[in-house]
A and B are shown apart, each in its own frame.
Chain A
Amino acid sequence: MTGRLIPREAGIHPPLFTPAYKTSVLRSPQRALIAFDSSPSEETGPTFGHMKLGALDNDLLLNYARPGTSAIGERIIVHGRLLDENNRPIPNALIEIWQANAGGRYRHKKDGYLAALDPDFGGCGRTITGEDGSYAFRTVKPGAYPWPNGPNEWRPAHIHFSIFGHSFGQRLISQMYFEGDPLIARCPIAQTIPDKAALDRLVAALDMSETKPMDAIAYRFDIVLRGHRQTHFENRPEGM
């Protein structure tokens, strides 16, 4: 047993029904979610620490590029730490990312945006966190792209993150934005998050200290998952 999951703090995650993001209207439950104490089904989860990663799995500059070349765009390093809300690192956890190319075009058969595909950019990567919860990717900064929500709506530059902790109840998918992007304040998806301080948690900061001179500029993005309760007192009627 890994202990009980700390209940989600209210007001951090976006509500499910957010009509300005139109697709949520028919895809959000109307009944209240049912709460219960976490059980082994939520307190355990898949682990991938033993998984063999390819040498370029976290290097999107090279993992789809033809030999001798690399993806076109602003070369960036995205790095940070995976922590829980008790400020403890989460080691050996899987982080997967996906994104558009520098022009805002996704390598996906359903994306018909007129910006061109980059023959040297796939747009997916993954890594396993280190003992201190640290992770890093190399990629290009994605471009903004239009989407058919309102008549003239553009997503801010963003990288999608899929994060596993050590339990299924910690599972999280989110998006990372970039410091200073004026589209964040106009985006109905970013603005599904009601709390400004919570949305700020998704905006990666320019990190000159990790920038590689004459090579790649760095952004720092720390991720915080819900934690397990540090039990001081617990009623156990069975006397264990």
Chain B
Amino acid sequence: MVQKFDKPILTPSQTAGPYVHIGLVPEACGIEDVPFETLGREIAGPEAKGDRIKITCRVVDGGDLPLRDCLVETWQADAAGIYPGQEGADPAVSGFGRMPADFTTGEITFETIKPGAIALSGDRKTPPHISFWIFARGINHGLHTRMYFPEDDLSGDPLLARIEHRDRIATMVAEATGPGEYRFEIRLQGAGETVFFDI
């Protein structure tokens, strides 16, 4: 016998289920008159510094069907690469996005600013990216991934260097579809499966 760690057991995850909208985006599922301020709609206010961008995304299952009941949350830094809450962060950037998929098309649109590169310890940096957290019916715990930008050089990113199958990095890079416009497809399973993180 050895000493026991006196440590609380983590609360395990469960799926968000098909009716996640009730709690997190009530107006999206027909609940009116709940006087909740909707969270995650304004990632970067009109005063925010940086280039304004629009991201259209879809989450697709292993049968090639877009998820029409998922929610996506995003977290990002300001144009200088500083996260909200850190010293010197742009006060007009909340950094947090939360959007449901369209019930018919599965499309999700975010309007924000392009984040700057993020300083890591030492003089290392990780290229501009937006963190994504995906949850839905059938997903037992939320999936973490990142969206990178096609115009940036990703070769020096120390975190992406962990990915042995280099061709998979492309699954985290959005496609440019117009000035300031990007398309990001998240594939849960199968060919072109998006990289998800154990983080």
- What residues of chain A have their CB less than 8 Å away from a CB belonging to chain B? 5, 7-9, 12-16, 18, 21, 23-36, 38-42, 44-48, 51-52, 54, 57, 63-64, 83, 85-87, 96-99, 106-111, 122-126, 160, 162-163, 168-169, 171-175, 189-190, 192-193, 195, 197-199, 201-202, 222-226, 236-238, 240
A-B contacts at CB below 8 angstroms, number: 262
B12-A12 in contact (CB<8A): yes
* B83 and A29 form a contact (CB under 8 A): no
CB-based nearest B residue for A46: B96
Q: What are the 10 closest A-B residue pairs judged by CB atoms, nearest first?
A: A98-B23, A23-B138, A27-B138, A46-B96, A33-B198, A44-B83, A98-B22, A26-B62, A238-B122, A14-B140
| A64–B197 CB distance below 8 A | no
Determine which of B31, B139, B193 lies in contact with A31 in the assembled complex, contact meaning CB atoms within 8 Å: B193
Q: With A and B bound together, what is the CA distance between A97 and B26 in angstroms?
A: 11
| Contact present for A42 and B199 (CB under 8 Å) | yes
- The reply on B170 being an interface residue by CB < 8 A is no
Chain B interface size, under 10 / 10 to 19 / 20 to 34 / 35 or more: 35 or more
Which residues on B are within 8 Å of A, measured CB to CB? 7-24, 26, 29-31, 33-37, 39, 61-63, 65, 67, 69, 73, 75, 77, 83-86, 94-96, 103, 118-123, 126, 129, 131, 133, 135-144, 146, 159, 162-163, 168, 188-190, 193-199
Quick one: given A46-B75, A108-B29, are A173 and B197 in contact (CB under 8 Å)?
Answer: no
Residues in B with CB closer than 8 Å to A51 are: 37
Q: A124-B23, A198-B9 are in contact. List 19 more A-B contacts (CB 8 A).
A: A13-B12, A24-B140, A26-B61, A36-B159, A39-B118, A40-B83, A42-B131, A44-B83, A96-B24, A97-B23, A108-B18, A124-B31, A160-B17, A162-B24, A171-B133, A173-B141, A174-B13, A193-B12, A238-B123
Assess A41 versus B189: contact at CB under 8 Å? Given A13-B12, A98-B22, A108-B29: no
Q: Are A41 and B140 neighbours in the complex by a CB distance under 8 Å?
A: no
Assess the B85–A47 pair: CB atoms within 8 A. yes
Closest chain A residue to B119, Cβ basis: A40
In Å, the complex CA distance between A125 and B189 comes to 33
Decide: A189 and B29 in contact? CB cutoff 8 A.
no
Of B16, B163, B193, B195, which is within 8 A of A160 by CB? B16
Complex Cα–Cα for A126 and B83 (A): 25
Q: Please report the C-alpha to C-alpha distance between residue A86 and residue B6 in the assembled complex, in whole angstroms.
A: 9
Q: With A and B bound together, what is the CA distance between A85 and B9 in angstroms? A: 7
